[in-house]
Structure 1
Amino acid sequence: MKRSEASRYHAVYGAWQNDPSGFWAEAATAIDWFSSWDTPFDAALGVYGRWFPGATTNVAHNCLDRHVAAGRGDQPALVHESPVTGTRTVFTYADLTARVEAFAAVLADHGVGKGDRVVVYMPMIPEAVITMLAAARLGAVHSVVFGGFAARELATRIEDAEPKVIVSASCGIEPGRVVAYKPLVDEAIVLSSHKPAFNLVFQRPQSAAALSRAEDVDAGALFAAALAAGRRVACVPVEATDPHYILYTSGTTGVPKGVVRDTAGMVALKWTMHAIYGLSPGEAFFTASDIGWVVGHSYIVYGPLLHGCTTVLYEGKPVGTPDAGQFWRVIEQNNVVALFTAPTALRAIKKEDPEGRFLSGRTLPSLRALFLAGERADPDTAEWASHLLKVPVIDNWWQTETGWPIAANPLGLGLVHARYGSAAVPMPGHGLEVVDDDGHPLPHGVLGNLVIRLPLPPGCLPTLWNRDGRFRADYLSDFPGYYKTSDAGYIDGEGCVFVMGRTDDIINVAGHRLSTGGMEEVLAGHPAVAECAVVGISDALKGQTPCGFVVLKSGVGQAPAEIEAELVARVRQIIGPVASFRLAIVVDRLPKTRSGKILRAAIRQLADGEPVRVPATIDDASVLGEIEDVLQARGVLDRLAEQVGG
């Protein structure tokens, strides 16, 4: 990736370092406030301090009303692209504001007010975004849970958030099937000790739900009536430190971990839209994610609307609904300036269409950049996408907890030099360092724990929902004065960040700490490999030994055994014998979460013969059985049994 001579990154980052409070106070002028703050940052409040205490504002006002007042009412705000239903719907800022006001009236009629919680259990339909913004308009706190999520997992979130109401849809649409949501909601309410007062259900024509419980409400009918009546609801002023939403982290088991985003988080999101993503108001942003994930919250709903952009809400998959060219169609049809997706989505497209046939005949003159996050972007996939799309492919690294990128290459400030495989440079607000397990700083290029010096910037979690103690224990205790990211990596001599995987993915082979991410990078460089995962499995002699699982591209004619041998030789040549990489296994697919993260821990547990902790966010649990069958057939489980017996 080439550096822009006009890059302002170092000057901007230096300005934050010199005056953190002043930097964010200046950024906050881009937000409408009903009353100003006492001080930009008060270190005495909360667990590590709070941003803009005393100030009042409203998220929905900043996303909608102020744009209508400024003359953007006729501009498209939200475009619903739904290849699974064959529909496309455009909502202007004026349209969306009227709908949000109408549904806010419906919520208020059912007792929802400032500080109340609203659980949103819906597919990727406009009513989901409308519900989120309607809750924010009332000063209520929403918690979005994936539509179709298991009833028991939904129940734990209901118990923790204690919502006044649930807003759901009758069904979701997956490739080749319709998933009924109402039975899952009913079961979750039975399982939960907390009983919401109402379940407001939006009926979909693909599968209507029976509204048989006293608490069931036909949300669509009430919404249509409120809209027809032109009902208006004023934005409720809330404190900057008040919670905006709760988002439960993926893979939660037992007592869930609810990440809190406060209202002041708008300041950072608004800043990122131009500085990182390079967008101007009025331009279109396509984030191919789900509103159940933090990426969907930040960059489908709130970031683009705060900035006055057009945002695309996509109900479909990167492949199979109906083909691997849907992303390119959406970009062309909506004049999308930037696409934001997960590397796994690109790998799926690359697997189905490695030559880019579905792009043939389309022109994408509006597209300026492709942004990746969610999994480490392997250089091979990034280079493939850059060659195909003829735009910069920009990785950025962040977490549910941070709400926006910790490290990125800031398109709006001018790209800095960063090679593929790097998440580029830390963003203002993130004093990123690399330390060993005892908290001692490590030199450039040395793998260690990635930590962020406190305080965290606006937009990052101030705590967990009702669990300050757990927040301290999970994130702040291991490295006092720092936030623990639980990611491992290094920073090179030019200041670029390389995230090599979760700290749990760093394996110890005969006393050598090795990054599975580095081995995956080598495997992904093989021309036959579409995607891969490397895990460390138990070894009686070495402690752990790496094992690679690879999915091949469509149409590969080479024998899997031959490819496996080449992969072993490739790792030995590029990384060296120290990696002890002797086992590569071709599989049909890898277990993933719904956001596309590969479940490496589950693969490792299978390979080690341990009980598998299946996260609630898994996309398809049947793939674990497939992996287990392959391991059994290859004798991996027998080998481990022999080690134990020996």
Structure 2
Amino acid sequence: MNGAPPHGSYQHTWQRSINSPEDFWLEAADGIEWNTRPRAALEQRSPTDWSWFPGGRLNTSFNALDRHVHAGRGAQTALIYDSAMTGTQASLTYLELLGRVSKFAGALRANGVGRGDRVIIYLPMIPEAVIAMLACARIGAIHSVVFGGFAANELAARIDDARPSVIVTASGGHEPGRAVEYLPLVQRALALSAGSVHTVIVRNRNTIPGSAADYANEPVSWLDWDVQEESAAPADPVSMASEDPLYILYTSGTTGSPKGIVRDTGGHAVALAWSMRNIYNVEPGDVYWAASDVGWVVGHSYIVYAPLLVGATTVIYEGKPIGTPDAGAFWRVIQQYQVKVLFTAPTAVRAIRRVDPELTELAKYDVSCLASLFLAGERLDPETFHWANDGLHCPVVDHWWQTETGWAICANPLGIEELETRPGSATVPVPGYKIEILNSKGQPVSRVGKDGNIAIRLPLPPGNLLGIWGSKERFSSAYLTAFPGYYATGDSGHFDDDGYLYIMGRTDDVINVAGHRLSTGSLEEVLTLHPAVAECAVLGVHDALKGQRAAGFVTLKAGATIDHDTLATELVALVRDHVGPVAAFRDVTILERLPKTRSGKILRKTIRQIVDGEPYTVPPTIEDPTVLDDLKSALDASANKAPVPRALVEPT
């Protein structure tokens, strides 16, 4: 089933991107300053091998900084730093940020880093994270950002895969209620790795103990960031080929050998600059805030690169949506810095909704400057959409993309045409993406509204992954072989009559209950209709009779006082009313917290393994490992209770 785009400016733009990609993307390339203009938009060597903007040469750091200074906008604020953890607030103009990036690029170069060399960046949410990334891009080094605080063995695995010569880190990072010291973790990771690293550069934070001097006797050279930056000669930008790698980003939750997504230089810059204007409707001077972390793809694309490529002001925030200090943290930042666009995860909004369902904290702030709220990373349930939309009075856009794509696959393109918003839908395919819904045999599904495998016609548009670091075969086997001619997204969903796409979950989130295929996303939608439910996850667990059965895990809104047994009975009744007895839904577990990654994704696979009694590994991306103990305790308590009577669930 193909998506039939709606009418209007969007339809014209999307159609042109599909029918005339050469003209479309060469025009988009005018948003970037090139040392050598590309000879074409696309070079397709085979159905599964292509590159964007062949022959083009550019430097991403120059495009993000120098050109804005040369255009006379050096005094404009480029970066705002706000740490709710330490109370620090600071800003850097484009001229100041250029100066620091040039100097740190010189420091890296003085320590032997050059074109094509890898640098691991293991930093908290501080300005130095942005500076280090742009410094690598300036001298042609390939950076790999690893979320600060990752376990030593996971860091070691990424060291051995990327083979960096330098690690850039800090004394530590702050989490609510605790500080995480990074240097012992780096030391342990170096001991576990094969020995490619020769230098560690440490940014001291006076709020967390530890410095390079503490490791003077290590076989690897440990250096102080401030000394290195101050003594370095500024580095000029190096001209890079469009297809040269810009960075490696390891996907979360990998097992075995890490899977390093490789992004190119030219296609990445063109796509992100185009997206800022056409999807987010952001222009030079606007304040854009991606409330994420530089360890995730959102942080790469929309904290660091995209806002600076278009001359906007970006916000780097060290804190949480709640508890630092309260559920008004986001609204305070929006008012204080006059944020035009906020991009965060549905989990963050659900966390605020759970603690402050009546938006009491929002009433304390003037957020009229906020033109739009973009959400991605987890499926946005309709109840949360309505809550945010009614409270903020601005477009709430559920858009869909992946680490692999680097930018949105589907969105409401506010910079082209503001389309009608439909709760539960990621709206329409972004120009450049031709999406089809395929059955298990790779054939288009025959009916509108029927779920299937979401696939993207090859070649992928600019900005998508160049490959998997060190393995062309792995790229092909992971994404291109399931449906020849397509990129397999691993997500399932359907189009409606107007070409709006609904993402129902990962393909492995479709469960088979006694021969009936059920979408866990649909069941989750039903559970969130209950006024006491803040968040939920539904997954398929083993059932000796039916093969699988649906089990629900829910958290409650602040102040909800409903008896747990009553809630379970009411949720079962909701599912029966909305989905029918075929769902055979009768397992409900009430939790204080759902196990999540630090980017806010619910760890569904881990929950299922625990429920089914299978061996499991605590994911390195988990936000708080103690929540798994809470889950086990809740399951034990549920096992000692009588389940919801089968007569209320299934027909006799």
Aligned twin of 1:592: 596
> Superposed, which structure 2 residues align to 1:464-543 within 5 Å?
464-543=468-547
> Superposed, which structure 2 residues align to 1:80-229 within 5 Å?
80-209=81-210, 210-212=214-216, 213-226=218-231
1:556 equivalent in alignment to 2:566:
no
Aligned twin of 1:251: 253
> Superposed, which structure 2 residues align to 1:20-39 within 5 Å?
20-39=21-40
1:220 to partner: Cα distance: 2.6
1:7 to partner: Cα distance: 5.1
1:585 to partner: Cα distance: 1.5
Q: Is the 2:290–2:344 Cα contact (8 Å) retained in structure 1? A: yes
Aligned twin of 1:295: 298
Q: Is the 1:397–1:405 Cα contact (8 Å) retained in structure 2? A: yes
Q: Is the 1:47–1:462 Cα contact (8 Å) retained in structure 2? A: no
Q: Is the 1:199–1:217 Cα contact (8 Å) retained in structure 2? A: yes
For 2:436, the aligned partner's letter is E
For 2:385, which of 382, 387, 412 is the aligned residue? 382
In the aligned structure 2, how far is the partner of 1:398 from the partner of 1:32? 26
1:583 to partner: Cα distance: 1.6
- RMSD over aligned CA atoms reads 1.6
For 2:247, the aligned partner's letter is Y
Matched position secondary structure for 2:97: helix
Structure 2 residues without counterparts, runs of 5 or longer:
1-5, 644-652
Q: Deviations over 1:464-518 (max 9, x none)?
A: 0011001111100110000000011111111011001111111011111111001
- Change beyond 3 A, Cα 1:571–1:638: closer
For 2:372, the aligned partner's letter is A
1:449 equivalent in alignment to 2:470:
no
1:435 equivalent in alignment to 2:438:
yes
Matched position secondary structure for 2:215: coil
Q: Deviations over 1:95-143 (max 9, x none)?
A: 1000000101110110011111010000000011000000000011000
Q: Is the 2:119–2:144 Cα contact (8 Å) retained in structure 1? A: yes
In the aligned structure 2, how far is the partner of 1:565 from the partner of 1:8? 48
Matched position secondary structure for 1:611: coil
For 2:70, the aligned partner's letter is A
Matched position secondary structure for 1:123: coil
In the aligned structure 2, how far is the partner of 1:244 from the partner of 1:638? 56
Q: Deviations over 1:375-423 (max 9, x none)?
A: 0001111110111111111001000000000101111112222311100
- Change beyond 3 A, Cα 1:78–1:223: farther
Aligned twin of 2:650: none
Query: Percent of counterpart pairs with the same letter?
Result: 53
Aligned twin of 2:394: 391
Aligned twin of 1:268: 271
TM-score by length of 1: 0.96
For 1:237, which of 236, 239, 263 is the aligned residue? 239
Q: Is the 2:18–2:433 Cα contact (8 Å) retained in structure 1? A: no
1:353 to partner: Cα distance: 0.8
Q: Is the 1:372–1:395 Cα contact (8 Å) retained in structure 2? A: yes
Aligned twin of 1:643: none
- Change beyond 3 A, Cα 1:85–1:448: same
1:438 to partner: Cα distance: 0.8
For 1:354, the aligned partner's letter is P
Q: Deviations over 1:61-105 (max 9, x none)?
A: 000000001111010000001010101101000010000001011
Aligned twin of 1:54: 55
* Range with greater deviation from structure 2 (628-637 or 155-164): 628-637
In the aligned structure 2, how far is the partner of 1:369 from the partner of 1:561? 39
For 2:423, the aligned partner's letter is Y
- Change beyond 3 A, Cα 1:46–1:115: farther
Q: Is the 1:6–1:414 Cα contact (8 Å) retained in structure 2? A: no
For 2:523, the aligned partner's letter is M
Q: Is the 2:572–2:586 Cα contact (8 Å) retained in structure 1? A: yes
1:638 to partner: Cα distance: 12
Matched position secondary structure for 1:49: strand
